[in-house]
Amino acid sequence: MAEARTLAGEALAAALRDSRERTRAWTFDLDDAQWRVPQQAGVNLVAWELAHVAWFAEFWILRGPHALDSAGRVRAAQPARLAGPDALFDSARLAHIARWAAPLPSRDELGARLDAQLDACLEALAKQDDSDEALYFHRLALFHEDMHGEAFAWLRATLGYGPPAGLAPPRLAAAAPAISVPGAQVRIGWPPARSGFAFDNELQDHPVELAGFEIDAAPLTAGQYLRFVESGGYDDPAFWPGEAGRWRATQPRSHPARWRRQPQWQVRWFGRWLPLDPEQPAMHLSAWEAEAYARWAGRRLPTADEWEHAAASQPAFSWGHSVWEWTASTFQPYPGFAAGPYRDYSAPWFGDHRELRGGAFATHERLHDLRYRNFFQPDRCDVFAGFRTAAP
Ligand SMILES: [Fe+2]
């Protein structure tokens, strides 16, 4: 699905239906007790998150035009009709912890809301022309729902629920030699000639001078990471300087959070412990763990620019469908950045989050794009993140 960003007409409608089917399939099979997610970072109550997905699509597609109020918040001209009020379901308005005290719709009510919202949005889509401007919010709602679909998968992994239907464990391509990438002046970001939907943080494209570097052909395997663990790497402070060391001090273990030794190494896959498969990607690692490995191996993480250039220019560079990849880059705006209509998508997180590239096995194919910039706080190991290394 190379052209997800230019989806239009019936293909876009089909994608919206497909995303909704996945959303439902990955949540409605869980029982009521599983829907009552305990309050913790990185996950949401299932009912809140489902209601938020419907709210988001209605807010942007059906309730325009939008304008900023005096507090700098985006307001919709039309009132909420189908999917609930802004005060409850706008993630920027209701704090994460407050969601556990919010009055949430029942499962039946949610099902009805999701159907009514999707029908109304598809009806609105059918009246649009195929211009990028007319389709902007329809595509935004699609990719937003795809992202929440992945969040439902990591919720299930975090809480030890069963894997979502049809989701197979990631596998990596056979080991390949590292790639030498010559130094070059390159352009990073969304090419001006490319049509379709661009996230605000992918704009503007700009020149970057890259020195030559070497980069792994694929993300690191669990077998490679195991050598670092077994060498005692978690307990050598040399590999955990500064903030990494402060994070390490909060972790009462000498191996990744979802590994255990019984006495053979096992890895938690959703609700089960499975024997460590050395050919699977190393996953559920924080950026600090990725960097500790790289120091131990005498290497480093690639910058996001290096990653993008290698993905764009090197046929042997294998990415996507396994793990998100931590980079060495703090998530920052490109020169000339201007926030998109959904102002809270990128701007609040610049300078604080770490950039990841690629795409995980649970990331919908539509989101796989070599320009796509993901971002998480570097201490998160609940998301489907691993890494590859670079040198020098
Ligand atoms: Fe959201």
Distance 163 CA to ligand 1 centre (A): 22
Q: How far is the CA of 114 from the centre of ligand 1 (A)?
A: 15
| Distance from Cα 21 to the centre of ligand 1, integer Å | 17
CA distance linking residue 44 with residue 25, whole number of Å: 17
Q: Are 293 and 233 in contact (CB under 8 A)?
A: yes
- Give distance in angstroms: CA of 91 to centre of ligand 1: 6
Q: What are the pLDDT digits (tens) for 310-367?
A: 999 999 999 999 999 999 999 999 999 999 999 999 999 999 999 999 999 999 999 9
pLDDT, one tens digit per residue, over 157-208 is: 999 999 999 998 897 878 899 999 999 999 999 999 999 999 999 999 999 9
**Which of 1 and 17 is assigned the larger pLDDT?**
17
Strands 385-386 and 324-330, how do they pair? parallel
Domain limits of the chain? 2-158, 179-391
* Strand 213-215 relative to strand 179-181, pairing: antiparallel
Q: Among 166, 168, 207, 206, which residue's Cα sits nearest to residue 185?
A: 207
Q: Calculate how far, in angstroms, residue 92's C-alpha sits from the geometric centre of ligand 1.
A: 9
Distance CA 292, CA 286 (A): 10
Average pLDDT over residues 60-82: 95
Q: What is the DSSP code (8-state) at residue 86?
A: H
**Taking the CA of residue 286 as centre, how many other CA atoms within 13 Å lie in the half-sphere pointing to its CB?**
21
Calculate how far, in angstroms, residue 144's C-alpha sits from the geometric centre of ligand 1. 6
Cis check for the bond before 38: say yes or no (omega within 30 of 0).
no
**3-class DSSP state of 327:** strand
Contact assessment for residue 179 and residue 314, using Cβ atoms and an 8 Å cutoff: yes
The pLDDT value given to residue 175: 83
What's the gap in Å between 148 CA and the centre of ligand 1? 7
pLDDT at 171: 77
20 CA → ligand 1 middle, Å: 14
Find the 56 Cα to ligand 1 centroid distance in Å: 7
- Residue 9 dihedral angles phi and psi, to the nearest 5°: 55, -135
- Is 2's pLDDT higher than 60? no
Taking only the tens place, the pLDDT of each residue in 255-286 is: 999 999 999 999 999 999 999 999 999 999 99
Q: Which CATH number, 3.40.50.300, 3.40.720.10, 3.30.70.20, 3.90.1580.10, labels domain 179-391? A: 3.90.1580.10
pLDDT (0 to 100) of residue 168? 86
Other C-beta atoms closer than 10 Å to the C-beta of 307 total: 27
Which H or E run contains 76?
strand 74-76
Residue 373 has φ and ψ, to the nearest 5°, of -110, 115
Find the 214 Cα to ligand 1 centroid distance in Å: 36
151 CA distance to ligand 1 middle (Å) = 10
The CA distance from 380 to 357, in Å, is 15
Cα of 45 from ligand 1 centre, angstroms: 13
Distance of alpha carbon 295 from alpha carbon 297, whole angstroms:
5
Q: What is the pLDDT at residue 131?
A: 97
**Side chain identity at 173, as an amino acid letter?**
A
CA atoms of 53 and 27, how far apart (whole Å): 13
Ligand 1 centroid to residue 53 C-alpha, Å? 6
